[in-house]
Amino acid sequence: MDIRLKPIRLAGTVEAVSSKSQLHRLLICALLADGETKIIFRGLSEDILATVHCIRALGKTVTVADGLITVEAGRRALLNPALDCGESGTTARLLLPVAAALTGGFTMTGCGRLPGRPMAELCLAMEGAGVSFSAHHLPLQAAGSLRAGTYRLPGNVSSQYISGLLLALPVLAGDSEIQLTTPLSSAAYVEMTRAAMRLFGVAADVGQIWGGQTYVSPGALSAEGDWSNAAPWLCFPEVTVTGLDFHSVQGDRAASELIAALRGEGDIEIEIDGTPDLLPVMAAFAAKRRGNCRFTKAARLRLKESDRLAVTAALIEAVGGAADIEEDTLTVLGKDRLAGGTIDAAGDHRMVMAAVVLAGLCDGPVTVRGCEAVNKSYPDFFKDYKALGGAVHVL
């Protein structure tokens, strides 16, 4: 669907949708727990539905209604379950080792760009521990059950590799260890995984994962507000976002500080490796300011739902801004004025959010192609946009 957004000043209060990253992890912990778990949430995205569908495929009964997800006690053992991860990389990477710990084999599929996104390093690490794969990318067939042991893999491709193993290994009979061959990127996401596990009574560290542990449901939980999905609204000075925890382990809570820095003048450099999901919105916000902004250590963004380095630069240039890419760095050259224009979201939910930020900075209207991509993480995004005073004209 294509829409046109007119320059408008957003104002008001919006409640943050639940953290997609945390909700994935809470659901998978609930899958591994024996008791019933109830999770209160706001905003059911396509990615979370993918995880719900996979948990059902692994034998759990899950009901979703009125802002409450219930994962019931008990799990049926199913032969060769089929896990459809949709376009959710988090679902695929977190559940690959978990499914291997729970079953003797399964199939895993995905759509969109997911079959081309990194999985090989995790597959290779698991192949040394009792599991074989028909391919090192989706779709794949897995055979065998995961064993405790030492897992060696890089930390700079996806922190989700480490999170998936951390979730799975404690339920195995023996102790395990994860050895990183490169420094860990996006460490906050691994800490988020460990925090979710602690809520279910399970302790693990990258260097030491104790086996024989049992996930114990805490009963009822509330998912935190999502800092990355709140970031577009935080760019508008007259918008207040409620439901955010300033002490959260979410690395994307840095959005507040980054926006404050970008409101100042002069050149600035931001290392984005730990908070890659913030780059599209932060770069869009940097397009109209006095001074340039260099976003460094951004190489992994080329492997997201789109090539986020190239597409972010294209978005900014499409409305009259200026951006340069050099290796793993995106430089946004601040402009006094942005004219407006037509933006292609490239099937990427983060690009739709960045487009709305740009629309708020432009003198003229902004047309956004493929705005339905936002449903991946925030289906009510434009409902909230309208509630804050935005106007959406469907083309």
Residues belonging to the active site: 277
In sequence order, the β-bridge partners of residue 242 are 15
β-sheet with 322-326: strand ranges across: 268-271, 292-296, 329-333, 322-326
Q: Which residues does 364 contact at the CB level (< 8 Å), separation at least 6?
A: 7, 339, 340, 341
β-sheet with 37-40: strand ranges across: 62-65, 68-71, 37-40, 220-222
Residue appearing with tokens 């260097």: 207
Q: Which helix (H) or strand (E) is 187 found in, with range? A: helix 187-199
Cα dist from 303 to 153, 177, 204, 296, 321, whole Å? 18, 27, 28, 16, 24
β-pair type (329-333, 292-296): antiparallel
Distance in angstroms (rounded) separating the CA atoms of residues 344 and 315: 7
Beta carbons within 10 angstroms of residue 39's beta carbon: 21
Is residue 368 within 8 Å of 321, Cβ to Cβ? Answer: no
Distance spanning both ends of the chain, measured CA to CA: 8
Q: Which residues does 309 contact at the CB level (< 8 Å), separation at least 6?
A: 298, 301, 302, 325, 328, 330
Distance in angstroms (rounded) separating the CA atoms of residues 226 and 320: 30
User: SS3 breakdown of the chain: % helix, strand, coil, rounded to 5?
Assistant: 35, 20, 40
The token pair that represents 334 in the structure block: 């601040």
Distance in angstroms (rounded) separating the CA atoms of residues 205 and 260: 34
Buried b (16+ CB within 10 A) or exposed e, 231-252: bbbbbbeebebebbeeebbbbb
Q: Which of 36, 15, 19, 16 is nearest to 223 (CA)?
A: 19
Q: Which of 256, 263, 166 is nearest to 207 (CA)?
A: 166
